[in-house]
Amino acid sequence: MKLSEEIFAIKLYELEQQFGKLQSQLYICQQQDHSKIKQQLRNITDEYLENELLLKKSAAGSRSSTVTLLAEAQEEYLRKTRTILNQQLAKQKTLEEQAEIAALYAEYAIDFAIHSMKNALIAALKAIDIQMEIEESILNQQIEREELK
């Protein structure tokens, strides 16, 4: 069970670091002028696309069909949400309407991130539960063998 616990600890640390970075960037950006916001948007978009490529490469190199299927599902979700956002923005006639759509999308993305964290917790607990079942089964088998002696 140690390995899973270590992996989860590492992933939680990464999540915490990314959340802190997001929080700081949003706070700082709210204090900046428009040109700096545009530059920050370009930088974050580039970083996002780079991370997306790394995830695709990692999934493609994985021996696990589960990882490949999960990566494909995530890619499809991201593609669909981007398409929806771009279509909705294109339909708006004013910048105010576009700003509202972009803010709604951001709010939804944050809500989805919260939901994703809960989903990650469920998956982690399921992995821990299964590992504990294995350990209990092994222990029970050992006890049964001892009793037969």
Burial class (CB in 10 A: 0-12, 13-18, 19+), 68: middle
What is the tens place of the pLDDT at every residue in 106-117? 999 999 999 999
| Average model confidence (pLDDT) across the chain | 91
Structure tokens at 44: 């974050």
CA distance 134 to 126: 12
Whole-model pTM: value is 0.78
Residues 132 and 1: beta-carbon distance below 8 Å: yes
What is the tens place of the pLDDT at every residue in 29-79? 899 999 999 999 999 999 999 988 888 888 888 889 998 899 889 999 999
Q: Is the confidence at residue 119, as pLDDT, over 80?
A: yes
